[in-house]
Amino acid sequence: MDDKTVRAATSEAAGDMLRLGGVCVYPTETYFGLGAGVFFPDALARVAAIKGRPSEKPLPLLAADLDQVQGVLSASFAASPGYADFMRLAGMFWPGPLSLVVPTRQELSPLVKDAKGRTSIRITPHPVARALCLAVKSPLAATSANPSGGRPTAWPAQLDRDLCARVDAVVLDPPLPAGGPASTVAVPEGGGRLVILRRGAVTDEALAGAGFVVTFSCP
């Protein structure tokens, strides 16, 4: 992809845009992501529209650290059966490509929540993605930067030009995403039970080896 065809920006400039409610393409630990700050509902609506993502399919989030994750969790989650397992998984697998589906604050946009009020979130180990979360002081939406139904990419040359033309910045700062499997998506249910919604980079064996009883609700 010719960088002149997109609004290429440094991570610092993209952070400024995100703080103003912008939408960016940026690298994550797996693939390039498309996102905006979680507290900018209009920007999240742009993300969904640019991707063509169905409204019933919530946008996942990534965060810089556990404080950012805690900042979007439902206040009641700490008293729920799944919270201890959530904290144990966070300590063992974050930062990393394990997305946990957990109850989040009522005031968050419905674009990031399922019908049960839950959001998929992870802490990213990627330095650029982490820097953008820190710049906007909140988690970012982190859907893959490709039209809905298309394939994600870890290579700048494979980014969709039309999609990139509709965002406010495309961050190509290194390191590039690693590619490979997408993040594993799981629901901590309490009592050491974990339901896998999508198999991915964190294997079933790794989760079982960490002491969890793993079941599946994925194709």
In 3D, which of 21, 134, 115, 113 has the Cα closest to residue 59? 113
Structural element, H or E, at residue 98: strand 98-103
What pLDDT is recorded for position 55? 79
Q: Residue 165: how many CB atoms within 10 A of its CB?
A: 12
pLDDT digits (tens, 9 = 90+) for 155-192: 999 999 999 999 999 999 999 999 999 999 999 999 99
Intra-chain end-to-end CA distance of the chain, in Å: 34
The 3-state DSSP class for residue 101 equals: strand
Question: What Å distances lie between residue 96 and 4, 106, 124, 200, CA to CA?
Answer: 32, 26, 6, 11
- Which tokens go with 180? 């490979």
For residue 23, is pLDDT > 70?
Answer: yes
What pLDDT is recorded for position 219? 56
Burial 88-105 (b: 16+ CB within 10 A, else e): ebbeebbbbbbbbbbbbb
What pLDDT is recorded for position 218? 62
> What's the one-letter identity of residue 211?
G
- Strand bridging mode 140-141 / 61-63: antiparallel
pLDDT digits (tens, 9 = 90+) for 41-65: 999 999 999 999 987 899 999 999 9
pLDDT classification of 197: cutoffs 50, 70, 90: very high
Domain at 3-81+98-180, CATH from 3.40.50.2300, 1.10.580.10, 3.90.870.10, 1.25.60.10: 3.90.870.10
**What are the φ/ψ torsions at residue 64 (nearest 5 degrees)?**
-80, -35
What pLDDT is recorded for position 7? 61
Mean pLDDT within 114-124: 97
What pLDDT is recorded for position 6? 57
What pLDDT is recorded for position 3? 44
Mean pLDDT for the chain overall: 94
For residue 2, is pLDDT > 60?
Answer: no
- Which tokens go with 98? 């394990």
SS (H, E, C) 111-165: HHCCCCCEEEEEECCCHHHHHHHHHHCCCEECEECCCCCCCCCCCHHHCCHHHHH
